[in-house]
Amino acid sequence: GENVEQHPSTLSVQEGDSAVIKCTYSDSASNYFPWYKQELGKRPQLIIDIRSNVGEKKDQRIAVTLNKTAKHFSLHITETQPEDSAVYFCAASLGYSSASKIIFGSGTRLSIRP
Amino acid sequence: DGGITQSPKYLFRKEGQNVTLSCEQNLNHDAMYWYRQDPGQGLRLIYYSQIVNDFQKGDIAEGYSVSREKKESFPLTVTSAQKNPTAFYLCASSIAGDEQYFGPGTRLTVT
């Protein structure tokens, strides 16, 4: 079945530096790739997503890139701030398929050092 | 809060008792999902439903049961057969395969 691998499991960066989290997926039919941020004790919330018809999407300090050939996508956070500290989950799905579900990666705990 | 609610926020039960967790959404989403999250771990899919009166097992369905009698509601029952039920339970809804909106979660403690 579909599998999503996420690396690294933990990441610590100096405030102001960039952070990169990488994911690979197994099902080449996947066409929707969301990223969720979960703060301690809270619900996951969508921060950015990308569909397979584009290679890159940016929203202020956050960007996601997609390489369909390699079945690989990444989250890039620039100019990191203390409030970026959280667990980040990547995910992949078949999009608007009646039988689809979203497969989540195992998560990356990002810590921003002051 | 995104139109999806879970109750209660905290739930305590004795071992051997069944317990039902509530999940309601007013987003008119067809698909609903239940996840389990253990401390420091990721999201594991328990059950999901794409349409009323139909649902499928996820990766860890043993010891759990669900129903989907109404589009708005997808309750999860944690049965006494679940060996280690203490966890954080998250419900979500979506247009099938699209962005999932999560509820605030129920933290279940079984002693």
Q: pLDDT, tens digit, for every residue of B28-70?
A: 999 999 999 998 888 999 999 999 999 999 999 999 999 999 9
Collapsing DSSP to helix, strand or coil, A59 comes out as strand
Determine contact: A92 vs chain B, CB below 8 A: no
Q: Which tokens in the block code for residue B12?
A: 């305590």
Q: Do B98 and A96 touch (CB under 8 A)?
A: yes
Q: What angle do CA A50, A103, A71 make, to 5 degrees?
A: 55
Q: Give, for A111, the enclosing helix (H) or strand (E).
A: strand A108-113
Smallest CA–CA distance, residue B78 to chain A, in Å, is 20
Between chain A and chain B, the number of residue pairs with CB atoms below 8 A apart is 55
Mean pLDDT of B90-105: 89
- pLDDT number for residue A11: 98
- Amino acid code (one letter) for A107: G
Q: Are the Cβ atoms of B96 and A98 closer than 8 angstroms?
A: yes
Contact with chain B for residue A34, Cβ under 8 A: yes
Strands (E), B8-105: 10-13, 19-25, 31-37, 44-51, 54-57, 64-66, 76-78, 87-94, 101-102
SS3 of residue B105 by DSSP: coil
Distance, in angstroms, between A73 CA and closest chain B CA? 17
Sign of CA dihedral A93, A36, B110, B73: negative
pLDDT, position B39: 86
What's the gap in Å between the CA of A78 and the closest CA on chain B? 24
Q: Which residues of B touch A45 (CB under 8 A)?
A: 102
Q: What is the pLDDT of residue B107?
A: 96
Q: How far is CA A110 from the centre of its chain?
A: 12
pLDDT per residue as tens digits for the range A13-59 = 999 999 999 999 999 989 999 999 999 989 999 999 999 888 999 99
CA angle B7, B80, B77 (to 5 degrees): 30
Q: From B58, B68, B77, select the one nearest B13 (Cα to Cα).
A: B77
Kindly give the residue spans of alpha helices, DSSP state H, lying in chain B: none
